[in-house]
Amino acid sequence: MTQIDQLEPVDNARRTLVTGSLAAGFALAVQPVAAATIVTDSSGLTDGMVTITSADMQLPAYRAYPAGNVHAPVILVVQEIFGLHEHIKDICRRLAKAGYYAIAPDLYVREGDATKADMQTIVQTIVPKVADAQVLGDLDSSVRFAKEEGADTDRLGVTGFCWGGRIVWLYAAHNAALKAAVAWYGRVAGNTTSLQPKNPIDIAADLHAPVLGLYGGADQSIPVETLDAMKKAADAAGKKTEFVVYPDTPHAFNADYRPSYREGPAKDGWAKMLAWFKDNGL
C-alpha cells in the first residue's frame, strides 16, 4: 500500500474555479455549496441528459464526450450517495475533456430522488432499497447505450465515489470486459443485507480488471485496516490492485463543493486515475 507524503502540483488547466451561488443542480443534502466549487464548461463537448432502457424502466443518465469523437473509450461514472447531481455531471465533463465518453446513470431513480432528499431520507429510505444486482444491471445497460451511440466499449473503465466507490469494486468483479477501475473512498468491508449481500473483500478473487483505490488516512468511515485486508485478499488471488492512502485526509476529499475537499490529494488522485486508465489500455 502506498502512502503519499509529498504531492507534486498537477496541471488543472481544464477546470475553472468560479465564485457565487452554485446551488442549482446540487443535491439538497449538500447545501450550502462552497463558493470555490469547480465548474467544468461544455466547450468542445457533446453532453447532456439521455434516457437508457434498463430492465423495467427508462433510466435517466448524464453523458459527455469530446465533440466529433463519439468513438472515445468509455468510463462509467458511479454516483456518490447523493445521487446524480451536478458534481457527478461535472466529473463526466472533466473526463470528456480528457478524451473519454463518460456516462453516469441515475442509480437511485426507482427508489426516489436523492438530489431532493435530506440526508436522513437518503440513508434510511432510499439507499437500503437499492439492490446491488439492480445497480450492476443498470451499469451494463449504460454500456450498451454507449455502444449504440458509437462509443468504444471495447475500451471500458469505471470510476465512482463514496457509495459509488464500493460499487466500482463490485462491478470490477461483475464485468469481464472491464479494462480498468478506480474506486474513490468506497468501503470494502462492513454490514451486508439481502439486497447488498457481499462486500468487495468477499469478491476480491473475482476481480476481472486492475483496480486503483484512492483513500483518505483520516476517513473515519473506512478503517485503513480494511484496505490492508482487501489488498491482501486480492494479492492472494493474483489480482492487480493498488491502494493510495493520503495521510490526514478525510472522506470525500475529491468533493470540491464540500468542506471535505482537499486540493492536493484530489489533484494527485485525479492524475493517478488518468494514468491508471491509460496504463491499462484506455
Grid coordinates belonging to 94 = 472533466
Is 219 noted as a catalytic residue in this protein? yes
Is 162 noted as a catalytic residue in this protein? yes
Place of cell 468487495: 200
Is 251 noted as a catalytic residue in this protein? yes
Q: Which of 162, 174, 256, 268 is catalytic?
A: 162
Q: Which of 132, 138, 219, 256 is catalytic?
A: 219
Q: Which of 85, 87, 174, 251 is catalytic?
A: 251
Residue 258 to residue 271: CA distance in whole angstroms? 20
Catalytic residues: 162, 219, 251
